[in-house]
Amino acid sequence: MTSVPRTLLDYASTAKTYKLERAIDQASRLDLLDPAAVNLITEEVRGHRGSKPLRQAMVIYHETGFTRSGGEKRMLAALANAGVPRPLVNNFIEGYELDFYWEHERFAVELDSWEHHRSRSSFEADPERQEKLAMVGIELIRITGTRLKREPETVARRIGGHLERRRQPLAA
């Protein structure tokens, strides 16, 4: 049986970059990704065709996480166009995977689509998650995919406003 790091290394030698990123993301979501083991194997077999692409993909993964949807890519583009600092993407914070998270400001944005949030379990879990995050000082707002498509500049500006507010010291 082949280890996950070895499988990723072999896959990296032939896969397109976005497919390799998806494979790394999937391994992470399944709790099968050991970044240290992946980095070790890329160092051990530097001559392997997959070493360099896998190392590059892991650097990007560590910096931001990967996007999994067109909506997430659209959000990142809108934020960049508005000059809003890039958030962490699809990272686990306080035990929850958050679509977008600004660590210093302790601020998160969830991008909601009808497709992924129409179930009863999601209807029940989303508010509970938001409440638990608030209890540890993380503010979470929800943006629908439709709203992002219709008014990306407004969405990005408002997120920038939230971040600015979170940077301000509390009034005494």
Residue-range domains of the chain with CATH: 4-64 (no CATH), 70-167 (3.40.960.10)
pTM of the model: 0.61
Of the candidates 170, 96, 160, 164, the one whose C-alpha atom is nearest the C-alpha of residue 134 is 96
Provide long-range contacts, Cβ within 8 A and 24+ apart, for 151-157.
Answer: 152/74, 152/75, 152/77, 152/78, 152/81, 153/78, 153/81, 153/82, 155/75, 155/78, 156/75, 156/78, 156/79, 156/81, 156/82, 156/84, 157/82
Higher pLDDT, 29 or 20: 20
| Mean pLDDT rounded to a whole number for the chain | 87
What number of residues does the chain have?
Answer: 172
**pLDDT in the model for residue 70:** 75
Predicted confidence (pLDDT) per residue in 50-67, tens digit: 999 998 888 777 655 555
In the structure, what pLDDT confidence band is assigned to residue 155 with cuts at 50, 70 and 90?
very high
Is residue 37's pLDDT more than 80?
yes
Q: What sign does the dihedral 99-102-108-114 (CA atoms) show? A: negative
Provide the 3-class DSSP secondary structure of residue 79: helix
Provide the 3-class DSSP secondary structure of residue 112: strand
**pLDDT in the model for residue 64:** 55
